[in-house]
Chain A
Amino acid sequence: MNILSRKRIISVSGWILYAIIIFIAPIFLGDYLRHTMIMFLFYISFVVSYSILVGHAGMFSLGQQMFIGFGAYATAFLTTQYTNITNILITIPMAAIFGGFLAYLMSFILLKLPPRPFSMVTLAFNFFIRQFWNLDPLKFTGGALGIKPIYPPTIEIPGLLYIEIGRLGMYYQAAIMSILMLIFYHLLTTSRFGVAIRAIKENEILAENMGINIIWYKRRTWIICGALAAIAGNFYGYYLGVITPYVFLWYRNTYLLTMAYLGGITMIEGCILGPFIYVVLAEFMRVTEEFRIVIFSAILLITILFFPEGIGGKVKDIYKKIRSKGDL
């Protein structure tokens, strides 16, 4: 209850330190490391949506990658084919609406399903969407070649402001996006909404019996997480500059899964730790591109077997043990 308790001061100053490091880092980094950092920040934004969906709401989706695709394609449609809008003040909301709307449509099938069929159907959706985008029967996705180029992002307010976001600017775009996502994560998980979705994850029957409308909460969680991932996808599209149906590849979900579980799927710290470990490992394993999936599977297996709460959870446990010993 105390606003100025010691624990709170430590955690707030920790977060401020983190923000400062993120903001001054590019000064010391070369082009290549900056790219790695951007991917790291992008993954944070992505994992946030997955952590809410799986860690808090217990909706084990295997198709979260498709929302990245939706966000990126929404951006691509806006910037190139029709209207040539590169303004992120328009494209980000549009990406979120596109992702959220498709999530809403899917929710009619998904929410009636029990947990395991739910996972399988999300995966099936992912396959379907990839094939649909690839074959392009309605002639709007650009087929297997995708859409290119996506012009670099700008910020425009007519008559007031016009900024072209360059290569360095995109780093800050990713940084601000990831920090806003983390703030959103914190707000959501500590709100009553967060309590409701955790209660549903723990025991659906009891939650429903105690007056929680589970379909209502699940649908909103699914849509919010879809929209969040689409916002991350918006950045992804801008950053790559070209978008092809490769973005829907299903096994990218396993990378996401690895990241989320490595860090600790129910913790805000896990949303940073997971992508960090992933990016560092991926850099070391650059030499063995094909072997990468095998190693990641092994890491995922070890994490789930030995640290079900993720590495972040393990660290917290050890910290607690040390603290309690200190008190004795």
Chain B
Amino acid sequence: MPLLETKEVTKKFFEFVAVDHVDLKVDKGELVGLIGPNGAGKTTLFNCISGFYKPDGGKITFKNDDITALPPHMLAKRGLARTFQLAQYYPTFTVLETLMTGLRFRGKERLLAAFFKRPIVMEEEIEFRERALEILKLVEMEKWQDYRTLDLSGGQRKIVDFSMSLILEPDLILLDEPTAGVDPILIDKLLDKIRILNKEQGVAFIVVEHNMKVIMNLCERIIVLNSGQKIAEGTPKEIQNNNEVIEVYFGKGR
């Protein structure tokens, strides 16, 4: 049984069809790449899966549950995390606080409980703090823990964004261009982390990426989108030799 399955997912913006009947399957512990030229609908597909857009047609299942119309916060609690193309951050929160905020809201919302749980006096907070520090150590950001995210560089924010998707202990992470704006040394480290998480903890990934070297090295299976349609699927080698993909990326007559 696949972990995530999309069946004929379609998203239209007025007349423009951004995602056109896309079928996609991701098994537990898989590393899937999603590539395509600009405007191919990669991020739109991500937004449909993670609940930020409501698809106009089709069905999305995650762990055997229909998640087609669920809002993002419920998906986060079910174990589906994502990062953003442009790193999202809480400007005035420190890095540590940002991560801890991710841990604080995993349960069901209850007004009185939320009201009497005061961060300074709780034991649970100490546990969260340790967990957050653990994640920060994993991505080698622990010396930045007391900095405001506003004061970090773009690449560092990207890393914080990545670590935030880890903190929810998800089964599937959607990474939207994780290496954009990150320096080459850090890219290698980041990819190592992704591989380790994938191998040791069985976390599945879908990675959108424009850096072909990265995607060919990292992924076991690659899906190619163009104008909202899936045009190819296969191992990196198959994709590299696929005529249609070459045509899409480099134009005809080569």
The stretch of A38-46, A188-196, A231-239 in contact with B is A188-196
Q: Is the CB of B102 within 8 A of A203?
A: no
Query: What residues on B are CB-neighbors of A196 within 8 Å?
Result: 104-105, 114
Please, what's the 1-or-0 string for A164-202, where 1 marks a CB less than 8 Å from any CB in chain B? 000000000000000000000001101111011011001
The stretch from A91-99, A211-219, A256-264, A284-292 touching chain B is A211-219
Name the A residues within 8 Å of B91 (CB-CB): 202-203
CB-contact partner of B115 in A1, A193, A198, A212, under 8 A: A193
Q: Let me know if B111 and A211 touch, CB within 8 A.
A: no
Contact A190 B101 (CB under 8 A): no
Q: How far in angstroms is the closest Cβ of chain B from A34?
A: 35
Binary contact readout A92-131 vs B (1 if CB under 8 angstroms, 0 otherwise): 0000000000000000000000000000000000000000
* A206 part of interface (Cβ distance < 8 Å): yes
| Residue interface mask B155-173, A partner, CB < 8 A = 1 | 0000000001000100000
CB of B118 within 8 A of CB of A208, answer: no
What CA separation (Å) do A148 and B5 show in the bound complex?
A: 66
B15 within 8 A of partner (CB)? no
Once the chains bind, are A1 and B120 in contact (CB under 8 Å)? yes
| Contact between chains at B118 and A210 (CB < 8 Å) | no
> Which chain B residues lie closer than 8 Å to A187 at the CB level?
115, 118
For B71, what are the chain A residues with a Cβ–Cβ distance below 8 Å?
Answer: 208, 213
Contacting A at CB under 8 A, from B108-124, are 109, 111, 113-120
A305: min CB distance to chain B, Å: 20
Contact string against A for B residues 59-80, beta-carbon threshold 8 Å, 1 for contact and 0 otherwise: 0000000000001111011000
Query: Is A205 an interface residue when CB atoms closer than 8 A count as contact?
Result: yes
Question: Of all chain A residues, which has the CB nearest B150?
Answer: A202
Q: How far is the CA of A214 from the CA of B113 in the complex (A)?
A: 17
Contacts of A193 in B (CB 8 A): 111, 114-115
Residues of A within 8 A of B90 (CB): 198-199, 202-203, 206-207
Q: A195-B101, A202-B93 are in contact. Are A212 and B119 (CB under 8 A)?
A: no
Assembled-state Cα–Cα distance A187/B115 (Å): 7
CA distance A6 to B195 in the complex (A): 48
Chain B residues 77 to 109 lying within 8 A of chain A, measured CB to CB, are 77, 81-82, 84, 88-93, 101-102, 104-106, 109
Q: Which among A191, A203, A211 is the interface contact of B114 at CB below 8 angstroms? A: A191
Q: Are A209 and B119 in contact (CB under 8 A)?
A: no
Closest chain-A Cβ to B164's Cβ sits at a distance in Å of 7
A216 to B84, CA, bound (A): 23
A214-B73 contact, Cβ under 8 Å, with A190-B120, A192-B119, A220-B111? yes
Interface presence of B50 (CB below 8 A): yes
Q: What residue in chain A is nearest B122 (Cβ atoms)?
A: A192
Say yes or no: A209 contacts B76, CB within 8 Å. Answer: yes
- Flag if B114 contacts A199 (CB, 8 Å): no
Chain A residues with Cβ below 8 Å from B89 are: 203, 206
Is there an interface contact between A208 and B117, defined as CB atoms closer than 8 Å?
Answer: no
Bound complex: CA A104 to CA B50 (Å) = 29
Query: Which one of A191, A208, A214 contacts B116 once the chains associate, using CB atoms below 8 Å?
Result: A191
Measured between C-beta atoms, what is the minimum distance from B174 to chain A in Å?
Answer: 10
In the docked arrangement, what's the CA distance between A201 and B74, Å?
19
Asked if A208 and B101 sit within 8 Å, CB to CB, the answer is no
Contacts of A198 in B (CB 8 A): 90, 93
Given known A-B contacts A190-B120, A191-B118, A192-B117, A202 and B73 have beta carbons under 8 A apart: no
- For this complex, 28 residue pairs linking A to B, each with C-beta atoms less than 8 Å apart, are A187-B118, A190-B120, A192-B119, A193-B111, A195-B119, A198-B93, A202-B91, A202-B92, A203-B88, A203-B89, A206-B84, A206-B89, A206-B164, A207-B90, A209-B72, A209-B81, A209-B82, A210-B73, A210-B76, A210-B168, A211-B105, A211-B106, A211-B168, A213-B71, A213-B73, A213-B109, A217-B109, A220-B111
Using a CB–CB cutoff of 8 Å, the interface residues on chain B facing chain A are 50, 52, 71-74, 76-77, 81-82, 84, 88-93, 101-102, 104-106, 109, 111, 113-120, 164, 168
